[in-house]
Amino acid sequence: MTERNYWQRMRRKQMSRRALLRASGRAGVGAAGLALVGCGDDDDDGQQSAAQAAGQQQQQGQAMQQQGQQGQQQQAMQQQGQQGQQEAAADSQADQADQQEQSADDAQEQQQAAVTDIVRGGHLTFSTPAATHDYFDPGRGVFGPTQFWMGFYMNYLIRYRNKEQDIAEPDIASLPEIPDDETYIFRLDQGARFWDQYPTEGGRLVTAEDVRVNYQRQIDAVDATGADDGTFLSAGSYRRTSAMEVPDEFTWVAKTDGPDATWMGVPLRPFSWITSPEAISEFGDRWRDEAGNLDLSSGTGMFIPHSYDPDIGISMSRNPNYWKMGVDGQPLPYYDEVTLANMEDATTVDAAYRGREILNGRFPLTTLQADGIAEDFPDHNYGQIAFGFTIITLVNYNPDWPGEDGLGNPWVDRRFAKALGMAVDPYLMIDTVYLGSGKPTGLHDTPWYSSYWALPEEELLQTPGFRPDRDVDIAEARALLEASGYDKSRGLRMIAPDLWESSYPGVLETEIGMYKNALDLDVEFDVQPYTVILQRFVDGTYPGSGPQWGNPPAELDPTAPYNDFFTPEGSVNTLSYDYPPMAEIAYKMRVTLDREERWEMAQDAQRLLLGTHPDHGLDGITTIPGVMNGISPVIWWPFVHHSEDTLQFAHASHRYDETWIDVNHPDYPA
């Protein structure tokens, strides 16, 4: 049995949100469920719901799921008209037949896989920029590397099996029942347990009250004294939950205040981990104030972290009491240890991979280096993923901030902001950082990895700031800067991450030259660690930046990010964006359950934010005016067996739960 066939079979154990909510619609959910499908092509509509876990737990979960579907179908037939009854009955019978047949096939195939393929043991190793870290707090963190690490040792309520394809699956809870447009019912029936260590000695079961406490913490967004705490950057997303109920120990119910097209993105978003209330009580603000203290961890995941040093990396060991089962009937994971070693230099990563110090080669490995490795080791596995970071620029529209020189905030004049945005050469940055393996992608808050939501590429390439003809962009940028009346003798002082320069030595000089050549403007950078930069976001004094790293979009549907970034009360509107027509679009998208209608509004929103909408001019341009994403190589040794679902743009480290290592392979480092 080949590895390819094994993973193809494993990918059948999944359910797209589209299929989930289509089934819910048959059971009486109606338009609200259908509106929560998200993005992606329709080719996942045929995905079938299957077992929720492996082994005996998988079979029991399947039986419960089928019984629940039968009850939902009976209710639907009472609520819907005769035509709807016939369609629901026909569809559900077909689904159940497919599920039963698939269940039998999967059980046999997985048993064979366990006997013939899977080997236990081993040490999985990666490179990582270990200093690029904000918080180990499950509720405060936002940084991509931290999210990747925590995916190995934390769990979601439900999770993406494949985010790019919009396929969700159970994690701590089963996929939700959605009886009406405003109610989501989660059953904590997966057997999830906290670690058997302080502050949850004994490893107790996760309860519905635990989930409620986690959500309430995000909704409140206050520190231990009860004061508002701006480091809870996801608060706006969680506040889409208007009420919560705990009808029994293992049932949690979330309600919205009216139909909300964005709510299903909340439990699926990055850093929606479930931690213990004991940890929330015990650790509190220490999570914020001791950002690098890994001992302040309490989770449910397959690994338990035990050491972190920004100069060394992060290490974790297998959770011996993990509650998810492998296809061999034993608890996951199959391997024993994970180490993510601090490596910020591509040459170091290349040498470490060749020497088997790391078994997975990725960031900051360049495409040229990966190609060289593949040529020297043709049997190694080689793939590409969208880069885990985008390149973005940011500006601050806060009218009360006096600017770095005390002469006033220059960004409040949108002509100045647009001129600086157009001075950025996206193609030069792609060549400098990604060695040509990338593309301009428009807007940070619109999922560029989805061709459905993003503006067509041909339109983007005609947009000022993205046109391949740099002379045209530069001429327009100079005219805008002159029209703004900005005194160029002031120069401009912006901020930059220290890791940005250390990862790409000389990149800030490239940016300084870029602004000088385009606008004859002298720019200097205040180089700071990310913790300082994040605080300046929070306190409203962010001075603007040239190109630097940013996180990829957290959600597939831009409706939620538009509400978070571009409404006055948005939880991540820390750059003081305030344009009522854009807020009106965001509000309307949130209550519009028809995806095609939201798509039309999103197209208008993108043109407004880019300054090309004929009705708005530059009045509503974004605070994040230039975005590029790269293509990152991924290469790994042939004795490491990954699911295809690990090769995603980001937010996929939890999918290493099915990875296994052939420790008997002659090349495996003993």
Q: Which two tokens stand for residue 190?
A: 């997966």
**486 and 459 belong to one structural domain:** yes
**In the block, residue with structure tokens 């850093």:** 271
Residue 210 lies in a domain: yes
Residue 57 located in a structural domain: no
Q: For the chain, what is the domain count?
A: 2
| Cα–Cα distance list, 32 to 262, 526, 538, 616 (Å) | 11, 48, 35, 32
What's the number of CA atoms in the CB half-sphere (13 Å) around residue 435?
A: 12
359 DSSP 8-state letter: S
152 is written with which tokens?
């190995």
CA torsion angle 79 82 88 94 (round to 10): 150
494, two tokens: 């912006």
Q: Given CA atoms 652, 653, 654, 659 in this order, what sign does their dihedral have?
A: positive
For 201, the domain range is 123-380+637-661
Residues 625 and 646 in one domain: no
Which residues are within 8 A (CB) of 561 and not within 5 positions of it... i.e. 6 or more apart?
A: 445, 446, 553, 554, 555
Tell me phi and psi for residue 434, to 5 degrees.
Answer: -105, 5
Say what the pLDDT of residue 34 is. 25
Say how far apart CA 627 and CA 624 lie, in whole Å.
Answer: 8
Question: Per the structure block, which two tokens stand in for 474?
Answer: 């530069």
Residue 244 pairs in a beta bridge with 254
| 417 within a domain of the structure (yes/no) | yes
292/411 same-domain check: no
- Within-domain flag for 42: no
C-beta of residue 647 within 8 angstroms of C-beta of residue 164:
no
- In this predicted structure, the answer to whether residue 103 has a pLDDT above a threshold of 50 is no
Q: What is the pLDDT of residue 439?
A: 82
Residue 512 maps to which CATH number? 3.10.105.10
Our CA angle for 325, 331, 333, nearest 5°, is 95
Give, as one character, the DSSP assignment of residue 264: T
- Which residues partner with 185 through β-bridges? 177, 253
- What does the angle CA 7 – CA 12 – CA 17 come to, to the nearest 5 degrees? 125
User: For residue 106, what pLDDT is reported?
Assistant: 52
Interatomic CA distance for residues 627 and 394, integer angstroms: 10
Examine residue 36 and state whether it is found in any structural domain, yes or no.
no
* 399, pLDDT greater than 90: yes
Q: Does 24 score more than 70 pLDDT? A: no
The residue that leads in pLDDT, 32 or 475, is 475
Does residue 29 lie within any of the structural domains? no
- CATH code (residue 269): 3.40.190.10
DSSP 380: S
Same domain, 324 and 413: no
Average pLDDT (164-181) is 93
Amino acid at 625: P
Q: What is the model's pLDDT at position 649? A: 65
Query: Is residue 331 domain-shared with residue 414, that is, in the same domain?
Result: no
Mean pLDDT rounded to a whole number for the chain: 83
Cα(259)–Cα(365) distance, integer angstroms: 45
- Cα–Cα distance between 29 and 182 in angstroms, integer? 10
DSSP 228: B
My answer on whether omega of the bond before 505 falls inside 30° of 0, hence cis, is no
Q: Are residues 210 and 300 in the same domain?
A: yes
Residue 147 is assigned to a structural domain of this protein: yes
Q: Is residue 434 part of a domain?
A: yes
Both 403 and 446 in a single domain?
yes
Considering the domain architecture, whether residues 504 and 461 belong to the same structural domain is answered as yes
Lowest-pLDDT range of 205-214, 227-236, 282-291, 515-524: 227-236
| Rounded-to-integer distance, Cα 27 and Cα 79, Å | 9
Q: Both 365 and 392 in a single domain?
A: no
The pLDDT of 383-409, averaged and rounded, is 90
More confident site: 35 or 458 = 458
Say if residue 536 is in the same domain as residue 457: yes
User: Could you tell me which residues are beta bridge partners of residue 384?
Assistant: 633
pLDDT of residue 452: 85
Between CA 120 and CA 168, with CA 649 as vertex, the angle to 5 degrees is: 70
- Which pLDDT tens digit goes with each residue over 350-388? 999 999 999 999 877 888 899 999 999 999 999 887 766
Residues 96 and 602: their CA atoms lie apart, in Å, by: 37
pTM: 0.74
pLDDT at 456 over 50: yes
Q: Is residue 306 within 8 Å of residue 319, measured between CB atoms?
A: no
* Same domain as 645, residue 514: no
What is the distance, to the nearest Å, from the Cα of residue 599 to the centroid of all Cα atoms in its chain? Answer: 21
Query: Are 418 and 351 part of one and the same domain?
Result: no
Phi then psi dihedrals of residue 340, to 5 deg:
-115, 105
From 124-138, 416-430, 511-525, 575-589, the region with the lowest mean pLDDT:
124-138
